[in-house]
Structure 1
Amino acid sequence: MNIIIAGCGKVGRALAEQLSKEKHDITVIDLKPESIQLVTNAADVRGVVGNGASYDIQMDAGVDKADLMIAVTNADEVNLLCCLIAKKAGGCQTIARVRNPVYHHEIHHIKDELGLSMVINPEWAAAMEMARLLRFPSAIDIDTFANGRIELLRFQLDDKNPLCGHKIRDLDTLSKCEVLVCIVERGNEVRIPGGEFVLENGDMISVVASPLNASRFFRTIGIETNQVRNTMIIGGGKISFYLAKRLLEMGIQVKIVEKDRAACERLCEQLPKAMIINGDGTDRDLLAEEGLASAEGFAALTNMDEENVMLSLYAKSMSKAKKITKINRNTFDTIIGSLGIGSLIYPKHITSETILQYVRAMQNSIGSNVETLYRLVDGNAEALEFIIRGESEVTDIPLQELDIKANTLVCAINRKGRIIIPKGQDRIQVGDSVVIITTNCGAFKDVRDILKKTAATAGLSGQR
């Protein structure tokens, strides 16, 4: 597809690089020549220097031939104007990043009135992910599929966990509920395990289950599943506002520490049920006085990655709280991930994942499209949800008879609201929502791509 990206910040660069790898024709627009240079050096893309909201600049970028405009500049209003001009000038589909909380309650109206294909708010999306983690504090990451009916939960095994020393195929008997271990991280290796794989102390495992079975599974293996009762948030920015609002709706007490007095006054007006503390979140005495030791949830959400990491390390030493750390840059993600500071949230990743999901769905040829996409384990694996809209080489055939690519697993099927953790005899049917886990990142745009050969590549009639 022909795609124009307005804005070459972290999200714009990440999108340009990934979409270029997936063989799309990409043109990037930015006011700063040095930003254009960074992207064109890193990926096979075309660059145009200028204002993305300018009709002439968009025409230079080829908007009249574009399939999609993605506007991710630093200004919401510029993003909306970019999309409006692109819609009128080229008739292409449009995606805008809109971050200001002022627009949040009006976003559906804005989307409909401007004819936008998608509006994404990374701070709100990040806050919703954090809220899920505080609802289920034992998990390090939680991703959802099928409108929340299927969950993918990531957690680490310790030497006391009863799963250690057992084979994957024995887990149904041990846990007495339907779950599937779909990813195991051991050291620097990322594996999609078979039934004979033996779990060990220190393994980071990802399991797929319905929310009910996930709760039963964690209780069976002796891991706490109750949501936190209170949370301390350091930093009073947009994510803090969205997170606090959601936690209060969940009945969780919230305390926000913010050093800017004007921001505190604004939060007091917006969140009357939260406790707002005007102070320095890095002050150890203040944290002790405000009850860090007894906090059940702790979120470091300042604008500085280094400060967030240090705050979470300190909270780790002083409290048993569920820790969430916001990270904007992924330069040292491997090192940060090894510090044991709980769940790391990358708002930029959430934005790019959501847009990639939409792009893959747009280019799909047979209607079985990517409904949901998550990049896992620092981008070394992907979880994709496909909607099966028509018969194909993968439908109505036992999974054990399908010639599925290596390092690929069909891990859940949603059939009219009934969640199936599939066995070899189960079949994919038209109308199903199917979750696939793979380490073949970026390779699957259609459900048929899970097969080593399809009718199109093997010259078959579609029947096995």
Structure 2
Amino acid sequence: MQIVIMGCGRVGSSLARSLEKRGHDVSVIDTNAESFRRLGPEFRGTTVKGVGFDRDVLVKAGIRGADGFAAVSSGDNSNILAARVVREEFGVHNVVARIYDQGRAEVYERLGIPTVATVRWAANQVLRGLLPEGSEPVWRDPSGSARLVQVHVHEGWIGSTIGEIQQAVRTPLPFLQRYGTAMVPTAETVLQDGDLLYAAIELDRTDEIEQVLGEAPERY
């Protein structure tokens, strides 16, 4: 894939190196040519000095043939403007923008521009570590009606199959983490001690599902 990145700060440079290591062609745009030093001597992609929402700069970076675009500069306005230009004028639909303002992020998600709200992401990661019952979702859809939640599971469920647990809570359990590795379970997968279980939940059922899984199951 050909990926264009706007912003060569810590996030942009790390993203560029990671993508290149995976075999993708990468172009990086930044207003400060000194920023390209963060890419390191092994970077073989293209670097372009300029404003990331300037059409000529984007063309020079290869946006006409790009499969994806990431706007990860330090400015919300620049990231959103660049994302819109790339989608609306160059027809690149695989676009992600980094946004610091959570309110703005939610607005642009509703307009179809995926965003990464830095402050919200960090806060949610900390909350999930502090509150094991998963009051903050791993993912939520822009409308807020559905979410993917890491749920606390009572030890009494250990030894039950995912199919049995899904039947009890009447909601999908799309994946779990075991020994630090994510896996997509089948209905026959048996829950083990230490597994982290994730549930796809409609917002109005969150309390109900957490209550069911937070207590030992009834055995018949």
The answer to whether the 8 Å contact 2:2/2:65 transfers is: yes
Structure 2 gap segments, 5+ residues each:
216-220
C-alpha distance 33-118 of structure 1, shift in aligned 2 (>3 A): same
Asked if 1:205 is matched to 2:207, the reply is: no
| Deviation, structure 1 residue 28 | 0.6
Counterpart of 1:166, as a letter, is: S
- Structure 1 residue matching 2:156: 3-state secondary structure: coil
The amino acid that maps onto 2:29 is I
Displacement after TM superposition at 1:166 (Å): 1.9
Count of residue correspondences:
204
- What are the ranges of 5 or more consecutive residues in structure 1 without an aligned counterpart? 224-464
User: What does 1:86-165 align with in structure 2 at a 5 Å threshold?
Assistant: 87=85, 91-92=89-90, 97-99=98-100, 118=113, 120=115, 122-123=117-118, 125-126=120-121, 129=124, 138-139=133-134, 142=137, 143-145=139-141, 147-157=143-153, 161-165=155-159
Paired position in structure 2 for 1:38: 39
Provide the rounded CA distance (Å) in 2 between the counterparts of 1:56 and 1:73: 18
Which residue in 1 is equivalent to 2:218? none
Cα drift, residue 99 of structure 1: 3.4
Q: How far off is 1:19 after superposition?
A: 5.3
**Per the alignment, in what secondary structure is the counterpart of residue 39 of structure 2?**
helix
Q: Using a 3 Å threshold, how does the CA distance of structure 1 residues 40 and 209 change in structure 2: closer, same or farther?
A: farther
The answer as to whether partners of 1:36 and 1:47 remain within 8 angstroms in 2 is no
Q: C-alpha offsets along residues 291-337 of structure 1, whole Å, 9 cap, x if unaligned?
A: xxxxxxxxxxxxxxxxxxxxxxxxxxxxxxxxxxxxxxxxxxxxxxx
For residues 169-203 of structure 1, the C-alpha deviation after alignment (integer angstroms, 9 at most, x for no partner) is 32256x3x303333232224433222332222222
SS of the counterpart of 1:180? coil
CA distance in 2, matches of 1:190, 1:214: 22
Normalising by structure 1, report the TM-score: 0.34
User: Whole-Å Cα distance in 2 between the matches of residues 184 and 40 of structure 1?
Assistant: 39
Give me the whole-angstrom Cα distance separating, in 2, the residues matched to 1:121 and 1:169.
33
Distance in 2 between the 1:185 and 1:12 partners?
28
Q: AA paired with 2:159?
A: G
In structure 2, how many angstroms separate the alpha carbons of the residues matched to 1:62 and 1:29?
11
* Counterpart Cα distance in 2 of 1:191 and 1:170: 18
Change (3 A) 1:218 1:19: same
Q: Answer yes or no: is 1:28 the counterpart of 2:28.
A: yes
Q: CA RMSD in A?
A: 4.6
The superposition leaves residues 366-407 of structure 1 with CA deviations (integer Å, 9 ceiling, x where unpaired) of xxxxxxxxxxxxxxxxxxxxxxxxxxxxxxxxxxxxxxxxxx
Based on CA coordinates, which of the two structures has the bigger radius of gyration?
A: 1
Flag the 1:77–1:192 CA change in 2: closer, same or farther, 3 A: closer
Partner Cα separation in structure 2 for residue 184 and residue 148 of structure 1: 22
